Structure 1
Amino acid sequence: MARNLEVPSLFPRLGGSSNDLRKSSSNTAIPSKVMSLQEVNLEKEFDVVRTLSEGSFSKVLLARQQGGGERMVLKAIHCEVTSAEDFSRELNYNYYLSPHPNIVTSYNVAFMWDNCFIYVQEYALYGDLSRHLKKGGLPEAQVKSIATQLTSAVEFIHSFQLVHRDLRPENILVFRKDLSIIKLGDFGQTRPSGVLLTKTTSNTSASYCPPEISELIVQEKYHCYASADVWSVGMILIECLIGMTPWTSAEITDPNYTHYVDWVKRKTLKTPDIFQVFTPRFIRLLKRIMEPKAAKRSKVGEITKYINDEWIIKGSAAVIAIRRASVERHESNATSKSGHRQRYYGKKRSTRSLVALESEIEVTSEHPVESVNERVGKWIDNSLKVSFSHPHHLNVNVGCQ
C-alpha cells in the first residue's frame, strides 16, 4: 500500500489568494523535510501518454490517471543523481509555492518507481518559453506581459527568503499560445537566501548567471542572494526583446560583457551595440537590475515601475541591425550539430532580408509574425487541451493526503 507524504498544516497551502500567502510569508518558513516514499507500479496507477523529454538520469512523462482524467506531468529523477533530501526540497518548494498563479502547480503526490523519485505537476500544453523565442525578438507587448508575470512569481519566491537560482527560458512554461499565461518551474536549485554554497559546473546556465557567480572558479564557496535572480530576469527580458543574450558569460574574458561594465561605470561613452535599440527609460531599468555589483542591484519589483514605458526604439537602424544579427545567430545555431535550438528552427532556413525585418518592426506590435517553431511544433498545438478545473484536488491513490 502506498504511503502518503506528510504535509505540515502550519503553512497556508490551499485556499486564499497569493496576497494572503505573501502576507504570512515573513514569519513562515517553507518546510523541507525528508520523506520516505514507497515503490509504486506506475503502469497500474497511470496511463503514460508519451515521454516529453529524457536525459541520462531523468525523464518527464505525460500521463493521466487510470480510468481517464486530465493530463499531468510525471517528473522522474534517478536516485543516482539526487538524494532523498534534495528531492524532498525541490518537491516541497514547488508544492508550497504553487498557489501563486505564475508558478507551476505541483500536486501533493510523490512516490518511487524504477529506481526514480517521481512527483506530479500540471501539464504545460505549449512547452517552455525557449520554444517561443522568435528570431529578432518578441513583440514588446508580449515581453511586457512576460515581465509582469515573471516579476510577480520571482517577487513571491523572494518574499519567503528563497532564491530560485536557475531562471532561464527553459524553466518558464507556457500555458497559452499568446504567452498571456506563463508559469515558473524547476525548483531543483532553489535555496534559502544567504546560505553558503559551492560553485559547480551545473549551478545555472552561463548566459543568465550573474557576474558574482560567473567569475568564481569551480568548487569556490559563495553565498546566494536574491540579487542573482534579479540579474537573470534582466537577461531573460533582453533575450525576449531582441532574440539573443548580450554576451555569452558575465566574465572579464567576454569582451561584450567588459564593454557593458565599462559603459555602466562611465569608463566609455560608447553604448554597447545591443543596448542601442533600447529607450533611455529601459536602459535605466537595465542598469538598475543588472548592476555588476550585487549589493547595489535593485530588487526585482523595480521592473513594474517601467512597464508603461516604451522599451524598444521602433524603426531605428540599430533595431534592424541587432535583429538581423539575431536572425543570423539563430541560423548558425540551427545548422550546428550541437545547437540546442536546431530542433525548433530546423536545419535549413534562409535569413530574412533587411526589407523584411524593417517591415516586421513596423507591424510587430499589432500583427506578430508567426514563429518558425510554432509551425514546426504543430503537433503540440493539435494536442488535446487540458482543463484544470480543480488543480489542488487531484485524486490519485499514491502520494499524499
Structure 2
Amino acid sequence: MPGKQSEDGVMEGAAVEDGGDEGLGGLTVEELEQGQETALALEDMMALSAQTLVRTEVGQLYQEVRPLGQGRFGRVLLVTHRQKGTPLALKQLPKTSTSLRSFLYEFCVGLSLGTHPAIVAAYGIGIESANSYSFLTEPVLHGDLITFIQPKVGLPQPAVQRCAAQLASALEHIHSHGLVYRDLKPENVLVCDPDCHRVKLTDFGHTRPRGTLLRLTGPPIPYTAPELCAPPPFPEGLPIQPALDAWALGVLVFCLLTGYFPWDQPLVEADPFFEDFLIWQASGQPQDRPQPWYGLSPAADTLLWGLLDPHPRKRNPVSSIKGYLGQPWKQREGEAEELAKDLGEDGLGDHGAAKGEQPACR
C-alpha cells in the first residue's frame, strides 16, 4: 500500500525489500518472508471476498436491537437474524469514509486469524448496501474496557492480570500469523462479563503484515512506541515489528493498574514524565521510582521495564506477561502510604512536584 496514509496519522508503504541486514530494517529473512506471505494471502482473500459480498440492505436480513459501539469511522450494532433470531454484532462502515479496499482488508484480517478465545470471532459474511459496507461478528455485550477503568484507580489487581494474560495471548496469536496489531487500547478490548473475567480484542483496521513500512505523520499518543516518533531509519519509514504491540501492552497494563497514562507522549523533550521514566529505568534502581509508579510492586516494575524498553530489539515480547502472573503487581496499601509519606505529604516530594497532574486514562 505505497503512499497510503491511515486514519491514525501513520504513512504506510510496502514491505521493506531484501537488501542485506541493513536493508531488512532489523528483521530476519524469515520474519520478512512471513510478513510478505501474509500480505499476499490477504490480497488473495480480499479478491475472493469482493466477489462473494452479499449485496442487499441490512434491514432486509437483520433486525436492529441496539447500538453496541460508535467510532469515528463506523458503528457496531446488536442485530438478530430476521428468520432465525440469532443475535449477532454487525459492524457498519459508511461508504463516504470507507473504501471498498479498506473494508475488505479489515474484514479479511479478522477472518484470517481464525478462532482464539481472546479475539472477537469473525463470521464470513460481508454485506454491501447502497450507503455502507458491513460484516458480522460474535456479539460481546458488556461494552469496552475503558468503561471499567476507574480514573486514578484502575482495576482490581486480579482483573488486571486476567486482562493482561488474555490480551498477551491474543497478540501472540496475531504475531504468529505474521501480523502486527498496532491499535491496542482499552476502547478496542471488549468485555464479556461485569467482572472482566473474559475479554476479547476487536477492530483490525490498523493491523498490518510484519515489515510494512510506517512513518508517523501526526502527534504521538501514549501507546505510540518511541521508535515511531524518532526520525525513521529509512526515508520510507520504519519496518514494523511485534515490538510495537509490546510497548502498547505495557502502557495498557500501567493504565489498568493505576487509572493513569504513564505519559502523554513518549518524547523526552516534550514530556517530563517520560523523561523521568527513562532516567529511572536506566538507573536500574527500582526503589528510586518516579511519582506515578510508586503504587506498583517490584514485579510490576520489572515487567513494565521489559515491555517499555525504548530500544525495540531489546524490548521483551508480549509473552513475557506469563512470567509475572500470580505475583503482586500493586504494593499493599500500607506500603504505598508509607512510600507516599517518604516522598512528601502530597506524595510528590521534590521529584515531579512541578510537573502538573498525571493524565488519567479517560
Conserved 8 A contact 2:73-2:98? no
Identity %: 30
Counterpart CA distance in 2 for 1:248 and 1:94 is 30
Residue 193 (structure 1) shift: 0.8
For residues 243-284 of structure 1, the C-alpha deviation after alignment (integer angstroms, 9 at most, x for no partner) is 111111111211100111122122998421122222222211
Counterpart CA distance in 1 for 2:72 and 2:243 is 32
Tell me what 1:77 maps to: 93
Answering whether residue 236 of structure 2 is matched by residue 225 of structure 1, we say no
Counterpart CA distance in 2 for 1:307 and 1:209 is 25
Tell me what 2:42 maps to: 31
Conserved 8 A contact 2:119-2:200? yes
Tell me what 1:104 maps to: 120
Tell me what 2:15 maps to: none
Count the aligned residue pairs.
Answer: 302
Tell me what 2:61 maps to: 45
Paired residue for 1:303, among 294, 314, 321?
321
Secondary structure of the residue aligned to 2:141 is coil
Rate the CA distance shift 1:222–1:82 in 2: closer, same or farther, 3 A: farther
Counterpart CA distance in 2 for 1:255 and 1:27 is 39
Counterpart CA distance in 1 for 2:326 and 2:71 is 41
Answering whether residue 207 of structure 2 is matched by residue 190 of structure 1, we say yes
TM-score (norm 1): 0.69
Counterpart CA distance in 1 for 2:140 and 2:357 is 28
Secondary structure of the residue aligned to 2:91 is strand
User: RMSD of the alignment, in Å?
Assistant: 2.9
Which amino acid in 2 is paired with 1:213?
A: L
Conserved 8 A contact 1:166-1:189? yes
Conserved 8 A contact 1:199-1:216? no
Counterpart CA distance in 2 for 1:264 and 1:169 is 25
Counterpart CA distance in 1 for 2:110 and 2:229 is 26
Larger CA deviation: 133-142 vs 102-111: 133-142
Answering whether residue 289 of structure 2 is matched by residue 271 of structure 1, we say yes
TM-score (norm 2): 0.76
Paired residue for 1:169, among 151, 161, 186?
186
Paired residue for 2:228, among 173, 198, 213?
213
Rate the CA distance shift 1:259–1:56 in 2: closer, same or farther, 3 A: closer
Counterpart CA distance in 2 for 1:141 and 1:319 is 24
Conserved 8 A contact 2:35-2:210? no
Tell me what 1:282 maps to: 300
Counterpart CA distance in 1 for 2:168 and 2:159 is 14
Rate the CA distance shift 1:215–1:81 in 2: closer, same or farther, 3 A: farther
Structure 2 matches for 1:1-400, cutoff 5 A?
29=38, 31-32=42-43, 33-34=46-47, 35-36=50-51, 37-54=53-70, 57-135=73-151, 136-201=153-218, 206-215=221-230, 221-252=237-268, 253-266=270-283, 270-315=288-333, 316-317=336-337, 318=339, 341=362
> Where does structure 2 lack aligned partners over 5 or more consecutive residues?
1-33, 348-355
Counterpart CA distance in 2 for 1:56 and 1:142 is 29
Rate the CA distance shift 1:141–1:162 in 2: closer, same or farther, 3 A: same
